[in-house]
Structure 1
Amino acid sequence: MKVLNLQCSHGHGFEGWFGSEQDYLDQQARRLVRCPVCDGDQIEKLPSAPRLNLSGGRPPASRRAGQADERGAERSAGQGAAVPTKRPAPSRDAAGQRAESAAPLDPAVQARLEQLHAAWIETVKAVVERTEDVGERFTEEARRIHYGETEARGIRGTASPEQRAELAEEGVEVVSLPMPAALKGPQH
């Protein structure tokens, strides 16, 4: 089993589990590897530092070094470097090319981003529970409700930016809410 750290073009990080590197490459080539948050299919593999558990093996060097510290031995400079587990979303330049961040996110900023992400997920869950999914019929159904042709109720579905602009011109209020693929319902 191969566990890879992956990231979509919008900066959403997630793990992917594959039988082998070749399985990952095959699925990636067929655009089957998708972001669980935004359903994007432009996925890149991030660097990772795997740790192998070998039975009967020696403890990792970092733990051996830590044990030496407890006995009062000095550590040499450069030992014990930490690798962040969360990476900031990549910034993009005017041409859309990835630009590397100069510094990792402050832990307080990272914590706030995680809180906002959790709040977004909870909001989406609440919308899914309280609305009817009308799918591609969203524009038509929103008009029918607005003009009193059918009962008023909460609906959700898909509409293009042009369709949303047309609804706004008619006075039909709509809100765009990105939905993680995992909350949209079963995928077949």
Structure 2
Amino acid sequence: MIRYALACDHAHEFEGWFGSSDDYDAQLAKGQVACPVCDSTAVAKQIMAPAVAGTKRKGEVALNPQARQMMMEALGQVRRHVEENFDYVGDSFATEARAIHEGRSEERGIYGEASPKEIRELTADGVSIAPLPPEAPKKTDVN
């Protein structure tokens, strides 16, 4: 996983986590990286200091490698459970989540894709949603 400090063309600053630099580039090219404040897709990486071992921000807790590995495995188990037991609805996620919330569709677990705007609208309307943990990088893709 890689964390980028990002900013939109309206100077709203936020951060994003990506599986790799290539994942960021692909999502940006598809217009899938958007400002959580104004929904602008004109987003750029900001200058960041490299993560140096032994430096911590105020209040930041450093995870030891075993704790980090356990956390990543737990997130992977959550993702696998959802993929194995929930219905994949693709780009229809927002429409189907709203239909379930309003009782127009059967109650069931679903997962899929939604734009930042759709996510904000669902949340504002009281529809319970949560992001799916990202896929763990393949060992062949990790340095």
Report the TM-score, using the length of structure 2 for normalisation: 0.56
Larger radius of gyration: 1
Matched-pair contact (CA < 8 Å) for 2:76–2:136 = no
Give 2:60's aligned residue.
none
Letter aligned with residue 169 of structure 1: A
Q: CA deviation at 1:181?
A: 7.5
* Cα distance in structure 2, aligned partners of 1:136 and 1:39: 23
Matched-pair contact (CA < 8 Å) for 1:133–1:155 = yes
* Cα distance in structure 2, aligned partners of 1:181 and 1:120: 9
Q: CA deviation at 1:118?
A: 0.8
Cα displacement string for residues 51-98 of structure 1 (whole angstroms, at most 9, x for unaligned residues) = xxxxxxxxxxxxxxxxxxxxxxxxxxxxxxxxxxxxxxxxxxx93334
Give 2:119's aligned residue.
164
Letter aligned with residue 133 of structure 1: Y
Structure 2, unaligned runs of 5 or more: 5-17, 25-44, 56-62, 138-143
Cα–Cα, structure 1 residues 181 and 149, in superposed 2: closer, same or farther, change >3 Å?
farther
- Alignment of structure 1 residues 44-59 onto 2, 5 Å: none
Report the TM-score, using the length of structure 1 for normalisation: 0.44
Q: CA deviation at 1:39?
A: 6.0
Matched-pair contact (CA < 8 Å) for 2:97–2:127 = yes
Identity, % of aligned pairs? 30
Q: CA deviation at 1:102?
A: 4.0
Matched-pair contact (CA < 8 Å) for 1:38–1:178 = no
Letter aligned with residue 22 of structure 2: D
Structure 1 segments of 4+ aligned residues over 2 angstroms from their partners: 8-11, 37-40, 94-98
Cα–Cα, structure 1 residues 42 and 176, in superposed 2: closer, same or farther, change >3 Å?
closer
Give 2:9's aligned residue.
none
Query: Residue 99 of structure 1 is aligned with which of 36, 39, 50?
Result: 50
Is residue 41 of structure 1 aligned with residue 22 of structure 2? Answer: yes
Q: CA RMSD in A?
A: 3.0
* Cα distance in structure 2, aligned partners of 1:138 and 1:40: 26
Query: Residue 138 of structure 1 is aligned with which of 68, 93, 103?
Result: 93
Cα displacement string for residues 21-51 of structure 1 (whole angstroms, at most 9, x for unaligned residues) = xxxxxxxxxxxxxxxx8365169xxxxxxxx
Letter aligned with residue 38 of structure 1: G
* Cα distance in structure 1, aligned partners of 2:136 and 2:64: 26
Cα–Cα, structure 1 residues 100 and 150, in superposed 2: closer, same or farther, change >3 Å?
closer
Structure 1, unaligned runs of 5 or more: 1-7, 12-36, 44-93, 183-188
Cα displacement string for residues 85-131 of structure 1 (whole angstroms, at most 9, x for unaligned residues) = xxxxxxxxx93334141449xxx711111111111111111111110
Matched-pair contact (CA < 8 Å) for 1:39–1:180 = no
Aligned residues: 97
